[in-house]
Amino acid sequence: MKVKTPIQVRYQETDQMGVVYHANYLVWFEIGRTAFIEALGFEYAAMEDQGIVSPVIDAHVYFQQPIRYGQQAYVHTSLESYDGIRTTYRYEVTDEDGNIAVSGTTKHVIVKKENFKPTSLRKKFPEWHQAYVKALGDE
């Protein structure tokens, strides 16, 4: 499963060269990840309401070509791996012609908000777990 999220490049996201500032791609990854979760029928806020959060524990970004102010960009988000506690999302940011500009991954762990102790998504949110397994094609 892959979710495509449009991003309109805003002026404040660029540097003096008119190129998207590198740190903004992590924000775009988050936009894509949220859209992916919503496409599965879930909301991250509902998880937080039950005392569970999913912080980033690792991130990689690979820059291949610039995206510039005024261009339309797309974040393509999918699951790379999931083990019930840790989830790795894969991202490709493309331009309007489908050329890959940036790719990367973020790894998240499911933890209790009160103490940051790892917990099982499988046990706490079994429907979410099943959706992730299905999205990976491991069902």
The pLDDT of residue 138 is 64
Task: Give the pLDDT score at 137.
Answer: 86
**Looking at residue 139, what is its pLDDT?**
55
For residues 92-116, give the mean pLDDT: 97
Q: Is 83 a catalytic residue?
A: no
**Class of 2-136 per CATH?**
alpha beta
Report the mean per-residue pLDDT for the chain: 95
85-92 long-range contacts (CB < 8 A, ≥24 apart) are: 85/109, 85/110, 85/118, 85/119, 85/120, 85/121, 86/57, 86/110, 87/54, 87/121, 87/132, 89/29, 89/32, 89/33, 89/36, 91/28, 91/29, 91/32, 91/33
Catalytic annotation, pick one of 15, 49, 83, 138:
15
Query: Is residue 59 a contact partner of residue 92, using CB atoms and an 8 Å limit?
Result: no
Q: How confident is the model at residue 26 (pLDDT cuts 50, 70, 90)?
A: very high
Residue 1 pLDDT level (bands cut at 50, 70, 90):
very high
Q: Which pLDDT does position 92 carry in this prediction? A: 98
Q: Which residue has the tokens 């660029």?
A: 14
- What is the domain partition of the chain in residue ranges? 2-136
